[in-house]
Amino acid sequence: MKEEIAKIQSDALTAIGAASGEQELDEARIAFLGKKGRLTAASTGMKDLSKEEKPVVGQLLNATRGAITEALEAKRNALQDEADRAALEGLDLTLPGRPLHPGNLHPLTQLGDRAIGILRRLGFALAEGPEIETEFHCFDALNTPPEHPARNEKDTFYFDSGKLLRTHTSTVQVRTMETQPPPVRVIAPGSCYRRDEVDKTHLPVFNQLEGLYVDTDVQVGDLKGALEFFYRAMFGEETEVRFRPHFFPFTEPSFEIDARLQLEGHDPEWIEVAGCGMVDPAVFEEICKSRGDELYHPDKVTGYAFGMGLDRLAMIKWGIKDIRLLIENDARFLTQFA
Ligand code: PHE
């Protein structure tokens, strides 16, 4: 029996050595160590052995099983190494990698985030409202009479239902005061729509950021201080800001804000950056009617509001000469803001 076992071992090692692949190796394993394999078959002879021989042959069987298992393992590793080497053949690990293009935020998003960040430091909370609006929220509640040119079909997108695409974010002033008691201090960034011809400075869809602060004793000085702070944080500490009297139906007094800025290749000049003013008492009266209470009675509260074009601000900040670049998704333009 001992010779038989020795023969099995040498046959097994030969077969394993000759195996040229995973499958042949497995066949060898089954042929020798499998349930019906030769070593297993040989071990059934144990029962005919004498008491003295049994442990000796038993040990031999174990040693043989161990040797064959080891040889199988070693061969498996060798085959794997060979496969790895073949796979790496011709692969030059010193070649530089392919560049990754991680992408970056759109300049408008960057500018909006920055503006929101500055205004949050002043205590403004984010508010929002729908882009499809009622005439009430867009015009009537904002003291804009029916004959006002902004309400014209030529300037505003109307739906058959009589609703419209909001022409400014001032609608959010109204919605905020309708749903929240004073004091309120909110900003509302978002899209607005006007029937403008597309050119270098106009798109029918653009972005505004509205601000509203209403409390018991808000004054023009508060408005000036807040917006001066904003434009200095946005364009640099040394930025001069001026308030020019203007007219908006929903604020009185009203101003346009100019900042003195130096655009690339230009001398410093005054550039209009926002509209603003003290909320008109007529607006507060509309809010009282709509709410059915007197919390916003013009004898009790005052407030300021402002609105600025974010696209315009981005164009000024980065010297972008054509607003259309902001919507064309041209990577050559957008990657400059990475
Ligand atoms: N809604 C005005 C516009 O679109 C801007 C504005 C907002 C002016 C708030 C005054 C107060 O031009």
Tens-of-pLDDT digits for all 338 residues of the chain? 888 898 999 999 999 999 988 899 999 999 999 999 998 888 888 888 888 888 888 899 999 999 999 999 999 999 999 888 888 888 888 888 888 888 899 999 999 999 999 999 999 999 999 999 999 999 999 999 999 988 988 899 999 999 999 999 999 999 999 999 999 999 999 999 999 999 999 999 999 999 999 999 999 999 999 999 999 999 999 999 999 999 999 999 999 999 999 877 788 999 999 999 999 999 999 999 999 999 999 999 999 999 999 999 999 999 999 999 999 999 999 999 99
What range does the domain containing 16 cover?
2-88
SS3 125: strand
Same domain, 284 and 223: yes
- Residue 273 belongs to a domain: yes
Protein residue with least CA distance to atom 10, ligand 1: 276
Amino acid at 116: I
Ligand 1 in reach of 276 Cβ (< 6 A): yes
> Measured between alpha carbons, how far apart are the two ends of the chain, in Å?
79
Same domain, 126 and 32: no
CA 2 to chain CA centroid, nearest Å = 74
- Residue 59 belongs to a domain: yes
Q: Which residues contact 225 (CB under 8 A, 6 or more apart)?
A: none
Protein residue with least CA distance to atom 7, ligand 1: 307
Q: H helices of 89-194, where?
A: 107-121, 135-138, 171-179
SS3 264: coil
Same domain, 75 and 172: no
Count CB neighbours of 26 within 10 A.
Answer: 14
- Long-range contacts at 256-265 (CB < 8 A, ≥ 24 apart): 257/227, 257/231, 257/306, 259/231, 259/235, 261/235, 261/316, 263/316, 263/319, 264/319, 265/319
Nearest atom of ligand 1 to the alpha carbon of 309: 4
Same domain, 15 and 79: yes
- Residue 14 belongs to a domain: yes
Ligand 1 in reach of 283 Cβ (< 6 A): no
- Residue 97 belongs to a domain: no
How far does residue 77's CA lie from ligand 1's centre (Å)? 75
Ligand 1 in reach of 248 Cβ (< 6 A): yes
Protein residue with least CA distance to atom 4, ligand 1: 168
